[in-house]
Structure 1
Amino acid sequence: MVIQNAFLDKVVLITGAAAGIGEAAARAFAAHGAKVVLTDIDERGEQVAQDLCTQGHNAVFQDCDVSNNGSVTALFSFIQDSFGRLDIAFNNAGIDIESGKLADGSEDVFDKIMDVNVKGVWLCMQHEIQSMLKTGGGAIVNTASVAGLGAAPKMSIYAASKHAVVGLTKSAAVEYAKKGIRVNAICPAVIDTNMYRRAIAGDEKKAHMIGSMHPVGRVGTVEEVVSAVLYLSSDAAGFTTGATLPVDGGSTAI
Protein backbone atom coordinates (compact mmCIF):
# COMPACT_ATOMS: atom_id res chain seq x y z
CA MET A 1 0.00 0.00 0.00
CA VAL A 2 1.27 3.47 -0.94
CA ILE A 3 0.29 6.26 1.42
CA GLN A 4 -0.95 9.63 0.20
CA ASN A 5 1.85 12.03 -0.77
CA ALA A 6 4.37 9.16 -0.61
CA PHE A 7 6.32 10.85 -3.39
CA LEU A 8 6.06 14.43 -2.18
CA ASP A 9 8.62 16.59 -4.04
CA LYS A 10 10.26 13.53 -5.62
CA VAL A 11 11.31 14.07 -9.23
CA VAL A 12 9.86 11.27 -11.35
CA LEU A 13 10.53 10.54 -15.01
CA ILE A 14 8.05 8.50 -17.04
CA THR A 15 8.78 7.46 -20.61
CA GLY A 16 5.94 6.46 -22.91
CA ALA A 17 3.74 8.79 -20.87
CA ALA A 18 1.30 10.00 -23.53
CA ALA A 19 -1.28 7.25 -23.06
CA GLY A 20 -2.06 3.92 -21.44
CA ILE A 21 0.05 2.72 -18.53
CA GLY A 22 2.46 5.65 -18.81
CA GLU A 23 -0.28 8.26 -18.65
CA ALA A 24 -1.94 6.52 -15.71
CA ALA A 25 1.41 6.36 -13.91
CA ALA A 26 2.01 10.08 -14.48
CA ARG A 27 -1.38 10.92 -13.01
CA ALA A 28 -0.84 8.62 -10.02
CA PHE A 29 2.64 9.90 -9.18
CA ALA A 30 1.38 13.48 -9.46
CA ALA A 31 -1.54 12.69 -7.16
CA HIS A 32 0.98 11.48 -4.59
CA GLY A 33 2.89 14.76 -4.67
CA ALA A 34 5.65 14.06 -7.20
CA LYS A 35 7.18 16.47 -9.68
CA VAL A 36 6.54 14.56 -12.88
CA VAL A 37 8.51 14.68 -16.12
CA LEU A 38 6.53 13.07 -18.93
CA THR A 39 8.20 12.11 -22.17
CA ASP A 40 7.08 10.45 -25.39
CA ILE A 41 7.30 10.88 -29.16
CA ASP A 42 3.52 11.35 -29.05
CA GLU A 43 2.62 14.99 -28.48
CA ARG A 44 -0.51 13.93 -26.58
CA GLY A 45 1.82 13.81 -23.60
CA GLU A 46 1.83 17.61 -23.64
CA GLN A 47 -1.92 17.63 -23.00
CA VAL A 48 -1.54 15.15 -20.13
CA ALA A 49 1.04 17.44 -18.52
CA GLN A 50 -1.20 20.47 -19.02
CA ASP A 51 -4.13 18.62 -17.45
CA LEU A 52 -2.02 17.80 -14.41
CA CYS A 53 -0.86 21.41 -14.06
CA THR A 54 -4.46 22.60 -14.29
CA GLN A 55 -5.25 20.28 -11.38
CA GLY A 56 -2.52 21.93 -9.34
CA HIS A 57 0.24 19.38 -9.86
CA ASN A 58 3.83 19.93 -10.95
CA ALA A 59 4.24 18.32 -14.38
CA VAL A 60 6.19 19.03 -17.55
CA PHE A 61 6.39 17.32 -20.93
CA GLN A 62 9.49 16.90 -23.06
CA ASP A 63 9.37 15.05 -26.35
CA CYS A 64 12.05 12.36 -26.58
CA ASP A 65 12.88 9.44 -28.83
CA VAL A 66 14.34 6.98 -26.33
CA SER A 67 16.11 5.08 -29.11
CA ASN A 68 18.17 8.17 -30.00
CA ASN A 69 21.13 8.95 -27.77
CA GLY A 70 21.11 12.66 -28.60
CA SER A 71 17.42 12.93 -27.77
CA VAL A 72 17.89 11.10 -24.47
CA THR A 73 20.90 13.23 -23.56
CA ALA A 74 18.86 16.39 -24.21
CA LEU A 75 16.06 15.06 -22.00
CA PHE A 76 18.38 14.50 -19.07
CA SER A 77 20.03 17.87 -19.53
CA PHE A 78 16.54 19.37 -19.24
CA ILE A 79 15.83 17.39 -16.07
CA GLN A 80 19.12 18.46 -14.51
CA ASP A 81 18.62 22.11 -15.44
CA SER A 82 14.99 22.15 -14.27
CA PHE A 83 15.12 20.05 -11.11
CA GLY A 84 18.76 19.30 -10.33
CA ARG A 85 18.05 15.67 -9.54
CA LEU A 86 16.13 12.54 -10.45
CA ASP A 87 14.64 10.31 -7.76
CA ILE A 88 12.48 7.82 -9.63
CA ALA A 89 12.31 6.61 -13.22
CA PHE A 90 9.65 4.49 -14.91
CA ASN A 91 11.00 3.27 -18.24
CA ASN A 92 7.73 2.42 -19.92
CA ALA A 93 8.22 3.35 -23.59
CA GLY A 94 7.90 0.36 -25.88
CA ILE A 95 6.45 -0.87 -29.16
CA ASP A 96 4.87 -4.03 -30.49
CA ILE A 97 4.70 -4.05 -34.29
CA GLU A 98 5.08 -7.79 -34.87
CA SER A 99 2.45 -10.23 -36.10
CA GLY A 100 4.11 -13.32 -37.55
CA LYS A 101 6.25 -16.35 -36.86
CA LEU A 102 9.99 -16.00 -36.36
CA ALA A 103 11.04 -17.26 -39.80
CA ASP A 104 8.77 -14.70 -41.48
CA GLY A 105 10.06 -11.68 -39.57
CA SER A 106 11.83 -8.74 -41.18
CA GLU A 107 15.12 -7.11 -40.23
CA ASP A 108 13.43 -3.71 -40.22
CA VAL A 109 10.87 -4.81 -37.62
CA PHE A 110 13.61 -6.45 -35.56
CA ASP A 111 15.67 -3.27 -35.54
CA LYS A 112 12.73 -1.03 -34.65
CA ILE A 113 11.59 -3.20 -31.75
CA MET A 114 15.08 -3.63 -30.35
CA ASP A 115 15.90 0.07 -30.75
CA VAL A 116 12.95 1.19 -28.65
CA ASN A 117 12.41 -1.71 -26.24
CA VAL A 118 16.03 -2.55 -25.46
CA LYS A 119 18.33 0.27 -26.56
CA GLY A 120 15.81 2.82 -25.27
CA VAL A 121 15.72 1.27 -21.80
CA TRP A 122 19.52 0.89 -21.78
CA LEU A 123 20.13 4.53 -22.79
CA CYS A 124 17.66 5.87 -20.24
CA MET A 125 19.04 3.67 -17.47
CA GLN A 126 22.56 4.91 -18.15
CA HIS A 127 21.51 8.52 -17.63
CA GLU A 128 19.19 7.71 -14.74
CA ILE A 129 21.87 5.81 -12.85
CA GLN A 130 24.47 8.51 -13.44
CA SER A 131 22.04 11.10 -12.07
CA MET A 132 21.02 9.00 -9.06
CA LEU A 133 24.62 8.24 -8.12
CA LYS A 134 25.13 11.98 -7.59
CA THR A 135 22.30 12.24 -5.08
CA GLY A 136 22.64 9.03 -3.09
CA GLY A 137 20.29 6.69 -4.88
CA GLY A 138 16.82 6.24 -6.33
CA ALA A 139 14.40 3.75 -7.80
CA ILE A 140 14.03 2.55 -11.38
CA VAL A 141 11.14 0.49 -12.68
CA ASN A 142 11.23 -0.98 -16.19
CA THR A 143 8.25 -2.23 -18.15
CA ALA A 144 9.00 -5.77 -19.27
CA SER A 145 6.19 -8.24 -19.96
CA VAL A 146 5.05 -11.77 -19.31
CA ALA A 147 6.57 -12.23 -22.77
CA GLY A 148 9.90 -11.54 -21.07
CA LEU A 149 9.38 -14.49 -18.73
CA GLY A 150 8.41 -17.14 -21.26
CA ALA A 151 7.39 -17.73 -24.84
CA ALA A 152 5.26 -15.45 -27.02
CA PRO A 153 4.27 -17.21 -30.25
CA LYS A 154 4.14 -14.86 -33.26
CA MET A 155 5.84 -12.22 -31.12
CA SER A 156 9.34 -13.69 -30.91
CA ILE A 157 11.19 -10.40 -31.45
CA TYR A 158 9.03 -8.63 -28.88
CA ALA A 159 9.60 -11.50 -26.46
CA ALA A 160 13.35 -11.32 -27.02
CA SER A 161 13.29 -7.58 -26.34
CA LYS A 162 11.43 -8.05 -23.07
CA HIS A 163 13.74 -10.88 -21.99
CA ALA A 164 16.52 -8.35 -22.59
CA VAL A 165 14.78 -5.80 -20.36
CA VAL A 166 14.64 -8.40 -17.60
CA GLY A 167 18.35 -9.02 -18.07
CA LEU A 168 19.18 -5.31 -17.93
CA THR A 169 17.04 -4.96 -14.82
CA LYS A 170 18.64 -7.80 -12.90
CA SER A 171 22.19 -6.88 -13.90
CA ALA A 172 21.83 -3.19 -12.98
CA ALA A 173 20.11 -4.11 -9.72
CA VAL A 174 23.13 -6.14 -8.62
CA GLU A 175 25.67 -3.64 -9.91
CA TYR A 176 24.18 -0.71 -8.00
CA ALA A 177 22.57 -2.40 -4.98
CA LYS A 178 25.13 -0.95 -2.57
CA LYS A 179 24.80 2.51 -4.12
CA GLY A 180 21.20 2.96 -3.01
CA ILE A 181 19.70 2.42 -6.46
CA ARG A 182 16.95 -0.17 -6.73
CA VAL A 183 16.03 -1.54 -10.15
CA ASN A 184 12.95 -3.68 -10.70
CA ALA A 185 10.64 -4.64 -13.56
CA ILE A 186 6.94 -5.15 -13.96
CA CYS A 187 5.73 -7.92 -16.26
CA PRO A 188 2.15 -7.23 -17.35
CA ALA A 189 -0.04 -9.65 -19.27
CA VAL A 190 -2.81 -8.21 -21.49
CA ILE A 191 -3.94 -4.85 -20.14
CA ASP A 192 -7.00 -2.81 -21.15
CA THR A 193 -5.35 0.02 -23.06
CA ASN A 194 -6.13 1.75 -26.34
CA MET A 195 -3.74 -0.68 -28.03
CA TYR A 196 -5.75 -3.62 -26.68
CA ARG A 197 -9.04 -2.07 -27.75
CA ARG A 198 -7.71 -1.50 -31.26
CA ALA A 199 -6.63 -5.13 -31.35
CA ILE A 200 -10.05 -6.50 -30.45
CA ALA A 201 -11.82 -3.89 -32.63
CA GLY A 202 -15.11 -4.33 -30.80
CA ASP A 203 -15.10 -8.11 -31.30
CA GLU A 204 -16.68 -9.41 -28.10
CA LYS A 205 -15.75 -13.02 -28.87
CA LYS A 206 -12.13 -12.05 -29.29
CA ALA A 207 -12.24 -10.00 -26.10
CA HIS A 208 -13.72 -12.95 -24.20
CA MET A 209 -11.10 -15.30 -25.62
CA ILE A 210 -8.24 -13.00 -24.60
CA GLY A 211 -9.71 -12.47 -21.14
CA SER A 212 -10.16 -16.20 -20.60
CA MET A 213 -6.44 -16.75 -21.22
CA HIS A 214 -5.86 -15.28 -17.76
CA PRO A 215 -6.82 -17.46 -14.77
CA VAL A 216 -8.77 -14.56 -13.27
CA GLY A 217 -10.92 -14.55 -16.43
CA ARG A 218 -10.29 -10.99 -17.59
CA VAL A 219 -7.61 -8.60 -18.80
CA GLY A 220 -5.92 -6.22 -16.39
CA THR A 221 -6.45 -2.51 -15.92
CA VAL A 222 -3.84 0.24 -16.16
CA GLU A 223 -4.57 1.13 -12.53
CA GLU A 224 -3.60 -2.38 -11.43
CA VAL A 225 -0.29 -2.10 -13.26
CA VAL A 226 0.38 1.37 -11.88
CA SER A 227 -0.22 0.13 -8.33
CA ALA A 228 2.70 -2.24 -8.81
CA VAL A 229 4.85 0.57 -10.23
CA LEU A 230 4.08 2.82 -7.26
CA TYR A 231 4.92 0.07 -4.80
CA LEU A 232 8.27 -0.73 -6.43
CA SER A 233 9.10 2.98 -6.54
CA SER A 234 8.24 3.59 -2.90
CA ASP A 235 10.13 3.19 0.35
CA ALA A 236 7.82 0.26 1.11
CA ALA A 237 9.88 -1.73 -1.40
CA GLY A 238 13.19 -0.72 0.15
CA PHE A 239 14.41 -4.33 0.32
CA THR A 240 13.21 -5.20 -3.18
CA THR A 241 15.61 -4.99 -6.10
CA GLY A 242 16.26 -7.13 -9.15
CA ALA A 243 12.67 -8.37 -9.04
CA THR A 244 10.42 -9.10 -12.00
CA LEU A 245 6.87 -8.65 -10.74
CA PRO A 246 4.15 -10.28 -12.87
CA VAL A 247 0.94 -8.28 -13.09
CA ASP A 248 -0.80 -10.96 -15.06
CA GLY A 249 -3.96 -12.33 -13.49
CA GLY A 250 -2.17 -15.58 -12.70
CA SER A 251 -0.92 -16.24 -16.22
CA THR A 252 2.64 -17.16 -15.26
CA ALA A 253 1.41 -19.48 -12.52
CA ILE A 254 0.12 -21.98 -15.08
Structure 2
Amino acid sequence: MKRLLVAGAQGGIGAACVNAARAAGAQVFEADRDTYDVTVSAGADAAVARAAEALNGLDCIVHAVGMSGRRLGDGPVDECSDEAWHEVHRVDLDSVFYLLRAGLRQLSGSGGSIVVIGSALASTLDEDFLTAAYASAKGALVPLVRSAAFTGAPKGVRVNIVAAGLVDTPMAARAMTDPAIQDRMPRLMPLGARACSPDEIADTALWLLSDASSRTTGAVVPVDGGWHLR
Protein backbone atom coordinates (compact mmCIF):
# COMPACT_ATOMS: atom_id res chain seq x y z
CA MET A 1 0.00 0.00 0.00
CA LYS A 2 1.63 3.21 -1.18
CA ARG A 3 -0.95 5.59 -2.67
CA LEU A 4 -4.43 5.51 -1.17
CA LEU A 5 -7.73 7.28 -1.82
CA VAL A 6 -10.12 7.36 1.15
CA ALA A 7 -13.69 8.36 0.32
CA GLY A 8 -15.57 9.47 3.42
CA ALA A 9 -12.31 10.64 4.97
CA GLN A 10 -13.97 12.94 7.51
CA GLY A 11 -16.19 10.25 9.04
CA GLY A 12 -15.24 8.22 12.09
CA ILE A 13 -14.06 5.12 10.25
CA GLY A 14 -12.73 7.04 7.25
CA ALA A 15 -10.61 9.31 9.44
CA ALA A 16 -9.24 6.28 11.29
CA CYS A 17 -8.26 4.73 7.94
CA VAL A 18 -6.51 7.95 6.91
CA ASN A 19 -4.54 8.12 10.17
CA ALA A 20 -3.59 4.43 10.15
CA ALA A 21 -2.47 4.53 6.53
CA ARG A 22 -0.32 7.60 7.05
CA ALA A 23 1.20 6.04 10.14
CA ALA A 24 2.11 3.06 7.94
CA GLY A 25 3.87 5.37 5.49
CA ALA A 26 1.21 5.64 2.78
CA GLN A 27 0.42 8.74 0.76
CA VAL A 28 -3.28 9.48 1.27
CA PHE A 29 -5.72 11.51 -0.78
CA GLU A 30 -8.79 12.48 1.24
CA ALA A 31 -12.19 12.83 -0.40
CA ASP A 32 -15.42 13.77 1.33
CA ARG A 33 -18.76 15.23 0.34
CA ASP A 34 -17.37 18.76 0.77
CA THR A 35 -14.79 18.04 -1.91
CA TYR A 36 -15.93 15.09 -4.03
CA ASP A 37 -19.48 13.77 -3.81
CA VAL A 38 -19.11 10.09 -4.70
CA THR A 39 -22.87 9.55 -4.46
CA VAL A 40 -22.97 10.81 -8.04
CA SER A 41 -21.08 9.32 -10.95
CA ALA A 42 -19.16 12.46 -11.86
CA GLY A 43 -18.01 12.96 -8.27
CA ALA A 44 -16.64 9.43 -7.99
CA ASP A 45 -14.87 9.71 -11.33
CA ALA A 46 -13.36 13.04 -10.29
CA ALA A 47 -12.19 11.74 -6.90
CA VAL A 48 -10.34 8.82 -8.48
CA ALA A 49 -8.85 10.90 -11.27
CA ARG A 50 -7.71 13.68 -8.93
CA ALA A 51 -6.23 11.19 -6.44
CA ALA A 52 -4.25 9.48 -9.20
CA GLU A 53 -3.03 12.85 -10.43
CA ALA A 54 -2.09 14.17 -6.99
CA LEU A 55 -0.34 10.98 -5.91
CA ASN A 56 1.26 10.21 -9.29
CA GLY A 57 -0.72 7.00 -9.50
CA LEU A 58 -3.09 5.03 -7.30
CA ASP A 59 -2.72 1.68 -5.57
CA CYS A 60 -5.64 1.42 -3.15
CA ILE A 61 -9.09 2.78 -2.39
CA VAL A 62 -11.22 2.72 0.76
CA HIS A 63 -14.94 3.45 0.54
CA ALA A 64 -16.03 4.65 3.99
CA VAL A 65 -19.02 6.76 2.95
CA GLY A 66 -22.21 5.97 4.82
CA MET A 67 -25.26 7.27 6.63
CA SER A 68 -27.98 6.17 9.01
CA GLY A 69 -31.47 6.96 7.82
CA ARG A 70 -33.25 6.89 11.16
CA ARG A 71 -33.75 10.64 11.27
CA LEU A 72 -35.43 10.34 7.86
CA GLY A 73 -37.72 7.53 8.97
CA ASP A 74 -35.71 4.35 8.38
CA GLY A 75 -37.02 1.44 10.42
CA PRO A 76 -38.99 -1.79 9.96
CA VAL A 77 -40.32 -2.40 6.45
CA ASP A 78 -43.87 -1.35 7.33
CA GLU A 79 -42.63 1.89 8.89
CA CYS A 80 -39.73 2.91 6.62
CA SER A 81 -40.35 6.18 4.79
CA ASP A 82 -39.86 6.75 1.08
CA GLU A 83 -37.31 9.46 1.85
CA ALA A 84 -35.20 7.18 4.04
CA TRP A 85 -35.35 4.35 1.51
CA HIS A 86 -34.14 6.45 -1.41
CA GLU A 87 -31.59 8.57 0.46
CA VAL A 88 -29.92 5.67 2.27
CA HIS A 89 -29.62 3.67 -0.95
CA ARG A 90 -28.20 6.72 -2.73
CA VAL A 91 -25.51 7.26 -0.09
CA ASP A 92 -24.78 3.72 1.09
CA LEU A 93 -25.16 1.76 -2.15
CA ASP A 94 -25.04 3.99 -5.23
CA SER A 95 -21.80 5.59 -4.05
CA VAL A 96 -20.15 2.17 -3.79
CA PHE A 97 -21.14 1.29 -7.33
CA TYR A 98 -19.81 4.57 -8.70
CA LEU A 99 -16.52 4.35 -6.81
CA LEU A 100 -15.99 0.67 -7.66
CA ARG A 101 -16.58 1.38 -11.33
CA ALA A 102 -14.16 4.31 -11.35
CA GLY A 103 -11.66 2.41 -9.23
CA LEU A 104 -11.65 -0.68 -11.45
CA ARG A 105 -11.08 1.48 -14.51
CA GLN A 106 -8.16 3.24 -12.84
CA LEU A 107 -6.47 0.23 -11.24
CA SER A 108 -6.92 -2.27 -14.07
CA GLY A 109 -3.53 -2.69 -15.65
CA SER A 110 -1.48 -1.69 -12.61
CA GLY A 111 -3.43 -3.73 -10.04
CA GLY A 112 -4.41 -2.72 -6.55
CA SER A 113 -6.87 -3.23 -3.71
CA ILE A 114 -10.27 -1.74 -2.88
CA VAL A 115 -11.96 -2.05 0.52
CA VAL A 116 -15.60 -1.22 1.18
CA ILE A 117 -16.83 -0.69 4.73
CA GLY A 118 -19.97 -2.76 5.16
CA SER A 119 -22.08 -3.80 8.11
CA ALA A 120 -22.99 -6.83 10.20
CA LEU A 121 -26.61 -5.79 9.63
CA ALA A 122 -26.27 -7.03 6.05
CA SER A 123 -26.69 -10.58 7.31
CA THR A 124 -28.25 -10.39 10.79
CA LEU A 125 -31.53 -9.21 12.27
CA ASP A 126 -32.17 -7.68 15.67
CA GLU A 127 -35.20 -5.99 17.17
CA ASP A 128 -33.18 -2.89 18.09
CA PHE A 129 -31.66 -2.53 14.62
CA LEU A 130 -34.53 -3.10 12.19
CA THR A 131 -33.62 -0.62 9.46
CA ALA A 132 -35.01 -1.75 6.13
CA ALA A 133 -33.17 0.82 4.03
CA TYR A 134 -29.80 0.56 5.76
CA ALA A 135 -29.77 -3.24 6.04
CA SER A 136 -30.84 -3.78 2.43
CA ALA A 137 -28.29 -1.27 1.12
CA LYS A 138 -25.49 -2.95 3.08
CA GLY A 139 -26.74 -6.38 2.06
CA ALA A 140 -26.61 -5.44 -1.61
CA LEU A 141 -22.92 -4.63 -1.24
CA VAL A 142 -22.06 -8.32 -1.02
CA PRO A 143 -23.02 -9.35 -4.59
CA LEU A 144 -21.82 -5.99 -5.90
CA VAL A 145 -18.36 -6.40 -4.37
CA ARG A 146 -18.16 -10.06 -5.42
CA SER A 147 -18.97 -9.00 -8.98
CA ALA A 148 -16.27 -6.32 -8.87
CA ALA A 149 -13.81 -8.83 -7.42
CA PHE A 150 -14.61 -11.31 -10.20
CA THR A 151 -14.06 -8.63 -12.83
CA GLY A 152 -10.93 -7.27 -11.20
CA ALA A 153 -9.11 -10.50 -10.41
CA PRO A 154 -7.64 -11.14 -13.90
CA LYS A 155 -6.46 -7.53 -13.87
CA GLY A 156 -4.76 -7.78 -10.49
CA VAL A 157 -7.42 -5.80 -8.60
CA ARG A 158 -8.73 -7.15 -5.30
CA VAL A 159 -12.05 -6.02 -3.78
CA ASN A 160 -13.22 -6.90 -0.25
CA ILE A 161 -15.67 -5.85 2.45
CA VAL A 162 -15.06 -5.16 6.12
CA ALA A 163 -18.40 -5.98 7.78
CA ALA A 164 -18.39 -3.78 10.87
CA GLY A 165 -20.51 -4.32 13.94
CA LEU A 166 -21.57 -1.46 16.18
CA VAL A 167 -18.73 1.08 15.99
CA ASP A 168 -18.23 3.93 18.44
CA THR A 169 -18.69 6.84 16.00
CA PRO A 170 -21.04 9.83 15.89
CA MET A 171 -23.30 7.94 13.45
CA ALA A 172 -23.89 5.32 16.15
CA ALA A 173 -24.71 7.84 18.89
CA ARG A 174 -28.25 6.51 19.37
CA ALA A 175 -27.09 3.00 20.15
CA MET A 176 -24.05 4.11 22.09
CA THR A 177 -26.18 6.21 24.47
CA ASP A 178 -29.15 3.86 24.80
CA PRO A 179 -28.90 2.07 28.18
CA ALA A 180 -31.05 -0.83 26.99
CA ILE A 181 -28.82 -1.51 23.99
CA GLN A 182 -25.69 -1.16 26.09
CA ASP A 183 -27.09 -3.71 28.55
CA ARG A 184 -27.48 -6.13 25.63
CA MET A 185 -23.88 -5.81 24.45
CA PRO A 186 -22.78 -9.16 25.93
CA ARG A 187 -25.33 -10.83 23.65
CA LEU A 188 -24.95 -8.56 20.62
CA MET A 189 -21.14 -8.52 20.57
CA PRO A 190 -20.00 -11.28 22.91
CA LEU A 191 -16.28 -10.91 22.15
CA GLY A 192 -15.48 -8.30 24.75
CA ALA A 193 -19.11 -7.13 25.12
CA ARG A 194 -18.36 -3.69 23.72
CA ALA A 195 -18.61 -1.68 20.53
CA CYS A 196 -15.72 -1.73 18.09
CA SER A 197 -13.42 1.26 17.82
CA PRO A 198 -12.88 2.97 14.45
CA ASP A 199 -9.21 2.00 14.73
CA GLU A 200 -10.10 -1.70 14.85
CA ILE A 201 -12.04 -1.36 11.60
CA ALA A 202 -9.18 0.61 10.05
CA ASP A 203 -6.61 -2.00 11.04
CA THR A 204 -8.53 -4.70 9.17
CA ALA A 205 -9.02 -2.43 6.17
CA LEU A 206 -5.28 -1.81 6.02
CA TRP A 207 -4.59 -5.53 6.14
CA LEU A 208 -6.90 -6.03 3.17
CA LEU A 209 -5.10 -3.23 1.33
CA SER A 210 -1.68 -4.68 2.02
CA ASP A 211 0.34 -7.43 0.36
CA ALA A 212 -0.30 -9.58 3.45
CA SER A 213 -3.77 -10.32 2.02
CA SER A 214 -2.58 -10.71 -1.57
CA ARG A 215 -4.61 -13.91 -2.13
CA THR A 216 -7.87 -12.54 -0.68
CA THR A 217 -10.60 -11.07 -2.87
CA GLY A 218 -14.40 -11.07 -2.87
CA ALA A 219 -14.39 -11.68 0.88
CA VAL A 220 -16.61 -10.33 3.64
CA VAL A 221 -14.43 -9.99 6.73
CA PRO A 222 -16.43 -9.48 9.94
CA VAL A 223 -15.08 -7.10 12.56
CA ASP A 224 -18.07 -7.15 14.86
CA GLY A 225 -17.17 -8.72 18.18
CA GLY A 226 -19.01 -11.90 17.21
CA TRP A 227 -22.29 -10.24 16.17
CA HIS A 228 -22.50 -12.37 13.00
CA LEU A 229 -22.42 -15.56 15.08
CA ARG A 230 -25.86 -14.88 16.53
Give the TM-score normalised by structure 2.
Answer: 0.90
1:207-218 equivalent positions in 2, closer than 5 A = 207-210=182-185, 212-216=187-191, 217-218=193-194
Match of 2:218, SS state, is coil
Q: Offset of 1:203 from its aligned partner?
A: 4.8
Contact 1:20 1:194 survives alignment (8 Å): yes
CA–CA distance in structure 1, aligned partners of residues 54 and 113 of structure 2: 20
Match of 1:144, SS state, is strand
For the structure 1 residues 190 and 200, does the alpha-carbon distance in structure 2 shift closer, same or farther, using more than 3 Å as the test?
closer
Match of 1:223 in 2: 199
Q: 120, 127, 143: which is aligned to 2:102?
A: 127
Q: Offset of 1:210 from its aligned partner?
A: 4.0
Q: Offset of 1:201 from its aligned partner?
A: 6.8
Contact 1:29 1:36 survives alignment (8 Å): yes
Contact 1:133 1:179 survives alignment (8 Å): yes
**Are residues 1:78 and 2:50 paired?**
yes
CA–CA distance in structure 1, aligned partners of residues 66 and 187 of structure 2: 25
Q: Offset of 1:100 from its aligned partner?
A: 2.2
Contact 2:67 2:171 survives alignment (8 Å): no
Report the number of matched residues: 224
Match of 2:184, SS state, is helix
Match of 2:108, SS state, is helix
CA–CA distance in structure 2, aligned partners of residues 210 and 165 of structure 1: 26
RMSD: 1.8
The answer for unaligned runs of 5 or more in structure 1 is 1-6, 44-62
Contact 2:68 2:171 survives alignment (8 Å): no
Match of 1:142 in 2: 116
Deviations 1:70-127 (A, max 9, x none): 2222222322332232100011101111342112222221111111111100101111
Q: Name the amino acid aligned to 2:6.
A: I
Q: Name the amino acid aligned to 1:121.
A: V
Q: Offset of 1:164 from its aligned partner?
A: 1.1
Contact 1:193 1:222 survives alignment (8 Å): yes
Contact 2:13 2:202 survives alignment (8 Å): yes
Q: Give the percent of matched residue pairs that are identical in Structure 1 and Structure 2.
A: 29
Contact 1:92 1:143 survives alignment (8 Å): yes
CA–CA distance in structure 2, aligned partners of residues 178 and 11 of structure 1: 21
Match of 1:23 in 2: 15
1:18-97 equivalent positions in 2, closer than 5 A = 18-41=10-33, 63-97=35-69
CA–CA distance in structure 2, aligned partners of residues 210 and 15 of structure 1: 30
For the structure 1 residues 201 and 179, does the alpha-carbon distance in structure 2 shift closer, same or farther, using more than 3 Å as the test?
closer
For the structure 1 residues 224 and 64, does the alpha-carbon distance in structure 2 shift closer, same or farther, using more than 3 Å as the test?
same
Which protein has greater RCO, CA pairs closer than 8 Å, 6+ apart? 2
CA–CA distance in structure 2, aligned partners of residues 163 and 106 of structure 1: 19
